[in-house]
Structure 1
Amino acid sequence: MTEAAVAGETAPAPPAQKDVWRKGRKPPLSARVRALGALPRRLLWQRLVYRLKRPYYRSPLYGIFLPRIESATPLCLPPDPWPGEAERGRALVDLRFTFAGQTLENPRPLWSPEQASKAWLEELHSFSWLRDLRACNGDPARRQARALTTEWMEKHRTWSSPAWDPLVIGRRLSHWLGQYDFFAASAEIDFRQKLLESAARQAAHLSSVLPAGLTGADLIVALRGLAIAGACLPDGQPWLKQALALLSRELTQQVLADGGHCERSPGRHLAVLRDLVDIKATLHAAGAPLPDELQLAIEGMGPTLRLLQHGDGGLALFNGSTAEEGFKVDMVLRRADARRRPRTSAPQTGFQRMQAGRTLVLLDSGSPAPPGLDMAAHAGTLSFEMSVGRERMIVNCGAPAGQTGSDALRQALRVTAAHSTLTLAETNSSLLSGGRAFWQTGLVARAENVLCRRNEEEGATLLETQHDGYAERLGALHRRMLYLAASGDDLRGEDRVEPSGADPFDRPLDFTVRFHLHPNVQAALVQTGDAVLLRLPKAGGWRLRCSGAAIALEDSVYFGDTQPRRSQQVVLRGRCGRDGARVKWALQREAVRDKPAGKR
Structure 2
Amino acid sequence: MSFGLPGADRDAVRKLARGSLLSRLKRSRQPLKLVAVPRDHVAGDRKRGDALLAGQFPFGSEVRPLADLDFAALGASGALAEQVQGFSWLRDLAAAASRESGARLAEAMVGRWLLAHGSRPDAAWAPHLWGERILFWAAYAPYILSSGDAGYRSALLNTLARGARHLDGQAEKAPQGLPRITAWCGVVAAGLLVQGGVPRIARGEAGLARALTGAQFDDGGLVSRSPFEQMLLVDRLGLLRSCYSAAKQTIPDGIETASAAALAALHGVTLGDGALSSWQSCNPGEAARLAALIDGCGLRARPLRQARGWGYQRMSALGTIVVLDGAPPPPKHFSAFGAASTLAIEMSDGAQRLVVNCGGPGPLPTALSPELVQGLRTTAAHSTLVLDDTNSTSILADGSLGRGVEDVGIERSEGNDASRIEASHDGYVRTFGLAHKRSLMLGNDGKELRGLDQLTAKGRKRIREAAPYAVRFHLAPGIEATATADGMGAILRSRGAPPWNFRCRGGMLTIEESLWIDGRGQARGTTQLVIVGEVSALGGEIGWQFRRTS
> What is the TM-score normalised by the length of structure 1?
0.80
What amino acid is the match of 1:556? Answer: S
What amino acid is the match of 1:276? Answer: L
Q: Which residue of 1 aligns with 2:249?
A: 288
Q: More displaced, 235-244 or 147-156?
A: 235-244
What amino acid is the match of 2:221? Answer: G
Q: Which residue of 1 aligns with 2:464?
A: 506
- Select which of 445, 449, 470 maps to 1:491: 449
Q: Which residue of 1 aligns with 2:326?
A: 365
What amino acid is the match of 2:502? Answer: L
Shift of 1:286: 1.1
Alignment of 1:391-540 (within 5 A): 391-405=352-366, 408-433=371-396, 442-502=400-460, 504-540=462-498
- Select which of 212, 227, 231 maps to 1:266: 227
What is the distance in 2 between the residues matched to 1:540 and 1:197?
A: 60
Q: Which residue of 2 aligns with 1:175?
A: 136
Given that 1:544 and 1:586 are in contact with CA atoms closer than 8 Å, whether structure 2 keeps it comes out as yes
Q: Which residue of 2 aligns with 1:49?
A: none
What is the distance in 2 between the residues matched to 1:325 and 1:108?
A: 27
Q: Which residue of 1 aligns with 2:549?
A: 590
What is the distance in 1 between the residues matched to 2:441 and 2:214?
A: 34
What is the distance in 1 between the residues matched to 2:477 and 2:250?
A: 48
Deviation string, structure 1 residues 183-218 (Cα, Å, up to 9, x no partner): 323543222111111111122222212222411122
Given that 2:215 and 2:222 are in contact with CA atoms closer than 8 Å, whether structure 1 keeps it comes out as yes
SS in 2 for 1:346: coil
What amino acid is the match of 2:249? Answer: A
Distance 1:376 1:469, change over 3 A: same
- Select which of 186, 189, 199 maps to 2:150: 189
What amino acid is the match of 1:119? Answer: A
Q: Which residue of 2 aligns with 1:83?
A: 43
What amino acid is the match of 1:568? Answer: T
Q: Which residue of 2 aligns with 1:542?
A: 500
Q: Which residue of 2 aligns with 1:118?
A: 78
Shift of 1:109: 7.0
What is the distance in 1 between the residues matched to 2:50 and 2:300?
A: 37
What is the distance in 1 between the residues matched to 2:134 and 2:487?
A: 59
Q: More displaced, 66-75 or 209-218?
A: 66-75
What is the distance in 2 between the residues matched to 1:163 and 1:314?
A: 31
Alignment of 1:40-51 (within 5 A): none
Shift of 1:243: 2.0
Shift of 1:566: 2.0
Shift of 1:100: 5.5
Q: Which residue of 2 aligns with 1:97?
A: 57
Deviation string, structure 1 residues 514-556 (Cα, Å, up to 9, x no partner): 1111113222222443211101324211111212222111222
SS in 1 for 2:509: strand
What amino acid is the match of 1:123? Answer: Q
Shift of 1:248: 1.4
Shift of 1:277: 1.9
What amino acid is the match of 2:222? Answer: H
- Select which of 158, 175, 186 maps to 1:214: 175
Structure 2 residue 92 is matched with structure 1 residue 132: yes
SS in 2 for 1:420: coil
Ranked by relative contact order (alpha carbons within 8 Å, sequence separation 6 or more), the top structure is 1
Q: Which residue of 2 aligns with 1:4?
A: none
Given that 1:374 and 1:443 are in contact with CA atoms closer than 8 Å, whether structure 2 keeps it comes out as no
Q: More displaced, 187-196 or 335-344?
A: 335-344
Shift of 1:140: 5.3
SS in 2 for 1:293: helix
Shift of 1:265: 2.5
SS in 1 for 2:104: helix
Given that 2:325 and 2:344 are in contact with CA atoms closer than 8 Å, whether structure 1 keeps it comes out as yes
Q: Which residue of 2 aligns with 1:5?
A: none
Structure 1 unaligned segments of length 5 or more: list them: 1-62, 436-440, 592-600
Distance 1:428 1:457, change over 3 A: same
Given that 2:223 and 2:309 are in contact with CA atoms closer than 8 Å, whether structure 1 keeps it comes out as no
SS in 1 for 2:238: helix
Q: Which residue of 2 aligns with 1:47?
A: none
- Select which of 255, 258, 270 maps to 1:297: 258
- Select which of 267, 286, 301 maps to 1:306: 267
Structure 2 unaligned segments of length 5 or more: list them: 1-17
What amino acid is the match of 1:247? Answer: L
Shift of 1:342: 3.0
How many residues were matched structurally? 524
Given that 1:251 and 1:293 are in contact with CA atoms closer than 8 Å, whether structure 2 keeps it comes out as no
What amino acid is the match of 1:574? Answer: G
Shift of 1:503: 5.4
What is the distance in 2 between the residues matched to 1:130 and 1:336?
A: 17
SS in 1 for 2:208: helix
What is the distance in 1 between the residues matched to 2:136 and 2:496?
A: 41
- Select which of 208, 218, 240 maps to 1:257: 218
Q: Which residue of 1 aligns with 2:9?
A: none
Shift of 1:365: 0.9
Distance 1:561 1:371, change over 3 A: closer
Deviation string, structure 1 residues 305-357 (Cα, Å, up to 9, x no partner): 33222222222222233324445444444455544543431233322222223
Q: Which residue of 1 aligns with 2:111?
A: 150
Q: More displaced, 336-345 or 113-122?
A: 113-122
What is the distance in 2 between the residues matched to 1:295 and 1:287?
A: 15
Given that 2:49 and 2:97 are in contact with CA atoms closer than 8 Å, whether structure 1 keeps it comes out as no
Given that 2:357 and 2:474 are in contact with CA atoms closer than 8 Å, whether structure 1 keeps it comes out as yes
SS in 1 for 2:71: coil
Distance 1:279 1:339, change over 3 A: closer
Distance 1:376 1:401, change over 3 A: closer
What amino acid is the match of 1:587? Answer: F
SS in 2 for 1:431: coil
What is the distance in 2 between the residues matched to 1:286 and 1:114?
A: 34
Distance 1:67 1:459, change over 3 A: farther
Alignment of 1:559-598 (within 5 A): 559-562=517-520, 563-591=522-550
Q: More displaced, 305-314 or 510-519?
A: 305-314
- Select which of 235, 245, 263 maps to 2:196: 235
Distance 1:90 1:306, change over 3 A: closer
Given that 2:135 and 2:189 are in contact with CA atoms closer than 8 Å, whether structure 1 keeps it comes out as yes
Shift of 1:221: 1.7
Distance 1:325 1:234, change over 3 A: same
SS in 1 for 2:218: coil
Q: Which residue of 2 aligns with 1:28?
A: none
What is the distance in 2 between the residues matched to 1:65 and 1:529?
A: 79
Distance 1:385 1:114, change over 3 A: closer
